[in-house]
Structure 1
Amino acid sequence: MYRKEEQPLPPPEKFELPFEGKLSPNNRWVIMAELIPWDDFEEEYAKLFSAEKGAPAKLFRMALGTLIIKEKLGTSDRETIEQIRENPYLQYFIGLNCYQQEPPLESSMLVHFRKRIDGELINKIDKKIVKREIDKSDKEVKKKDCLQ
């Protein structure tokens, strides 16, 4: 049986968020953001740009993060930007400090990101993540051995 809502919907600015204005540390995008060594590759990415020509480059985290979002969600370039615009977790993932309603970049930027972030760089990042996780696991095993 259909039940009519008891109260009318509030305007969007009064819509209550379940996380009370804070991001959950258990969100998949927050967890993944912690795994990626963004800063370790910022300098390598920055070397791909000329200091004299063109507009300032976007940060590596924004570039790689946007490409990861696109691949993970299976969306077009335009839809990826729209998803980022609408989702505070995705904005956090690409390195924004706070939620913004305007898109943080144009969808055409993804073409440039794909040209600069190649398979070789992705492999370096993957290896660094795996090494860091193995090192962390080894430390936990050693710590358990010491406690026994």
Structure 2
Amino acid sequence: MYRKEEQPLPPPEKFELPFEGKLSPNNRWVIMAELIPWDDFEEEYAKLFSAEKGAPAKLFRMALGTLIIKEKLGTSDRKTIEQIRENPYLQYFIGLNCYQQEPPLESSMLVHFRKRIDGELINKINKKIVKREIDKSDKEVKKKDCLQ
């Protein structure tokens, strides 16, 4: 069964923390979260699940985000979940709306994420990111040319 997120994710400065403060928009995890076209691949990921059986699936952002965190930090599955539990930036990165003390998922879920998110999908995501950044750069160059 697949569950679509009910409400949109807040911008980083609105992410609720259990203490005073806000997430910095300059943090590497916030910046990377903005680069990845999560929504563009949510539907494709959802097609991998049955609507009739099984527990609701985790969202694509949580699945891919957790795998990215694991790779970037070079940690085991268990340590990755521990890092996510402790770090509000990582919780924001995987799509949580506010900081939570409890781990958002079990480390055993990473095995399932790796089975479903293959190299072909990662390549599609990378191509989309590169294309979007090139398009954005082209628009900036054209805008600059028009101003001169």
**Range moving further from structure 2, 20-29 or 80-89:** 20-29
Correspondence list, 1:75-114, <5 A: 75-114=75-114
Q: C-alpha displacement at 1:7, in angstroms?
A: 43
Total equivalences in the alignment: 148
Q: C-alpha displacement at 1:17, in angstroms?
A: 9.7
Q: C-alpha displacement at 1:53, in angstroms?
A: 1.3
Residue deviations 1:17-71 (CA, integer Å, cap 9, x gap): 9994200000000000000000000000000001111101000000000000000
Q: Structure 1 residues 20 and 55, CA, compared in 2 at 3 Å: closer, same or farther?
A: same
| TM-score computed with the length of structure 2 as normaliser | 0.87
Residue deviations 1:68-110 (CA, integer Å, cap 9, x gap): 0000000000000000000000000000000000000000000
Identity across matched positions, percent: 99
Computing the radius of gyration over CA atoms, which structure comes out larger, 1 or 2? 1
Gaps of 5+ in 2: none
Q: After the TM superposition, which parts of structure 1 deviate over 6 Å for at least 4 consecutive aligned residues?
A: 1-19
User: Secondary structure of 2:115's match?
Assistant: helix
Q: Structure 1 residues 137 and 78, CA, compared in 2 at 3 Å: closer, same or farther?
A: same
Residue deviations 1:89-137 (CA, integer Å, cap 9, x gap): 0000000000000000000000000000000000000000000000000
User: Secondary structure of 2:52's match?
Assistant: coil
Q: Structure 1 residues 2 and 63, CA, compared in 2 at 3 Å: closer, same or farther?
A: closer
CA distance in 2 between counterparts of 1:18 and 1:25 reads 18
User: Secondary structure of 1:128's match?
Assistant: helix
Correspondence list, 1:1-148, <5 A: 20-148=20-148
Q: C-alpha displacement at 1:141, in angstroms?
A: 0.2
CA distance in 2 between counterparts of 1:118 and 1:131 reads 20
Gaps of 5+ in 1: none
CA distance in 1 between counterparts of 2:121 and 2:39 reads 14
CA distance in 2 between counterparts of 1:12 and 1:137 reads 24
Q: Structure 1 residues 144 and 6, CA, compared in 2 at 3 Å: closer, same or farther?
A: closer
